[in-house]
Structure formats: C-alpha cells, structure tokens
Amino acid sequence: MPGITGRTRLLGIVGDPIAQVGSPQACNPRIAAAGADAVLLPFHVPEAEFEVAMAGLMRLGNLDGLLVTIPFKQRVLDLADTVRPVAALVGAANALRREADGRWTADMFDGVGLLRALAGLGVSPEGASVLLLGAGGAGRAIGVSLARAGAARIGIHDLDRARGEALAARVREAAPGCAGAAAEPVARGYDIVINATPVGMRPGDGLAAPLGPLAGVAAVIDIVPKPPMTPLLAAAAEAGCRIAGGQVMIEGQAEAVLEFFGLPPGRG
C-alpha cells in the first residue's frame, strides 16, 4: 500500500463492534492495485454515539465515503440526502458516498456480495428454495436480491416474527413470482441456507437456530466474517454442504462498492 500523505482520500467503515469487519482487507489491496491515493479505515462508533459520531465524520473534508455494518444499516438512511432504489426497497444501506456538491447518497450492496458468493460455490439461486435466518438490514438486502435473481421460494426466520413477515412481503414485492413467507428454522427441504444474523461471531456462540439435519442442502452461507469457520459452517461442512463465510461475501461486493465510491476496482 502506498504511504499515506495529506492528500490521501479517506474511506471508512463504521460499526459496533468493529473488530470483526473484513472490508479493509478486501478493499485496500484493490485500492492499492488500482493506484488510487485512498485508504479504507475501520471506525468504532458506539451505538449510543451514532448520530454525534456520524455528524463529525461526515463533515471531514477528506472523507469520500463510508461503509456501514451492524447495527447501523437502517439508521444510516436518515443521514442520506439521496437513497438509491435497492436501498429504498430494502429499507437499509451499507454504503454512503459524498457527492461533488457535498450531498450524501446511500446504497445497499450486501445482496451483491451474497449472489457472488453463491456463484463462487457453483450454486445458482434461480429456481432455488432458500431458508434465510435474520430479517435485519443484511437479511433484507439478501432476501430482495435472491428474489430478484430468480429464487422460487424464500422462507424467512426471525426472532421477531412480524419483522420476518415484513421481509416476506418485501420479497414478494421485489419478485411476484417468488414465494416469500415467514418460516420455521428447519433446513430440510431447502437448497440453500443463509445465516444473516450476528450469531456465530462471538466466542461461545452456537447456531442461530436449531436447523436440524443439513444433509441434502446444497450450500450454506454464514455472513459472519470472523471466525472463518463458524459453528454453522462447521456443521454444514460435516454434512457435506458447500460453504462460504462472510469474508467471501465481502470480497464479492468489494469491487461494486469501490465503483460506487468512484474508485477503479483494482484486483487485490
């Protein structure tokens, strides 16, 4: 990576916690390979200080954009001047870009990363049945993207059943041919299982839900970026499923995010 100078443009990723994020590892080698004088840095923004911290960050003259991770993907929409269509449909965003006139634009890329992770496993969402755990910001982006990519059925499990049912309605709105519905967390009968909750990130975490046998599931993706082998992925590997973790998803969306920030997506 080139040396940081006073001319270096800054990008950041904000979250609480922040130690688990993989975006700096995914994006900075690409930024360096493209020869851009920019760097992506992690910013730990405590949840109680979100509005105050973001107001300060967004006033920095050399900050061009922010990535947003848990638990801020919904709250960040209130800070944007413009919300692009996918983020509006999802009701959450994971990227903010400063425009030339100083206004901020929000968009959502979690679904892009998930679809590319599936492609890397050789699994197509078209015609597939999907069990999605979690209907938060990432879960909504993933559900909408899978529906738009041709999934036939998406069962959604969230501890807040009303939130799961709300996502099911968004899925049907995004693709009327996709059967979206709240579902019990049982893996049997699904082609793809996705954990879009933070469960698995902390030491001692188990599974996000009692899924039952995973044999017969083609692919299991856990969006938790660290550890690389979560309890869910370990169980899926033992059952013979194709697996991908959160870092793979982050790698999948890195190029799209850098393009959104106006940077050439150099290969890391």
Same domain membership, residue 149 and residue 75: no
* Domain that includes residue 27, residue range: 9-109+250-260
Strands 38-44 and 9-15, by their bridges, are parallel
- Judge if 196 and 185 occupy the same domain: yes
pLDDT at 204: 85
| Residue 226, pLDDT score | 83
Q: Is 124 among the domain residues?
A: yes
Q: Does any domain span residue 138? A: yes
**Are 101 and 207 in a shared domain?**
no
pLDDT score at 1: 47
**Tokens, residue 252:** 């999948």
d(CA 56, CA 234): 41
Give the C-alpha distances (Å, rounded to integers) separating 155 from 191, 193, 261: 11, 10, 33
Question: Does one domain contain both 117 and 98?
Answer: no
Say yes or no: 175 and 59 in one domain.
no
Q: Do 118 and 237 belong to one domain? A: yes
| pLDDT recorded at residue 33 | 92
Closest CA to 166 of 128, 199, 137: 137
Domain count, the chain: 2
Q: Quick one: 74 and 55 in the same domain?
A: yes
Q: Are residues 231 and 115 in the same domain?
A: yes
**Which stretches of the chain score pLDDT less than 50?**
1
Instruction: Note whether 37 and 161 are same-domain residues.
Output: no
Q: Beta 95-98 vs 104-107: how paired, if at all?
A: antiparallel
Assess contact for 67 and 138: CB atoms under 8 A.
no
Query: Is residue 4 domain-resident?
Result: no
pTM (two decimals): 0.82
Contact 172, 180 (CB under 8 A): yes
CATH number at residue 81: 3.40.50.10860
pLDDT score for 250 = 87
The phi and psi torsions of 60 (rounded to 5 degrees) equal -65, 130
Position 2 scores a pLDDT of: 55
The model's pLDDT over 68-91, given as tens digits with 9 standing for 90+, comes to 998 999 999 999 999 998 899 889
31 with 97, same domain: the answer is: yes
Residues 103 and 169 in one domain: no
Report yes or no on 231 lying in a domain: yes
Beta strands in the chain (DSSP E): 9-15, 38-44, 63-68, 82-83, 95-98, 104-107, 129-133, 153-157, 179-182, 192-195, 219-222, 242-244
CATH of the domain at 204: 3.40.50.720
Q: Catalytic: 73?
A: yes
Query: 142 and 28: one domain?
Result: no
Q: Catalytic pick from 30, 73, 98, 157?
A: 73
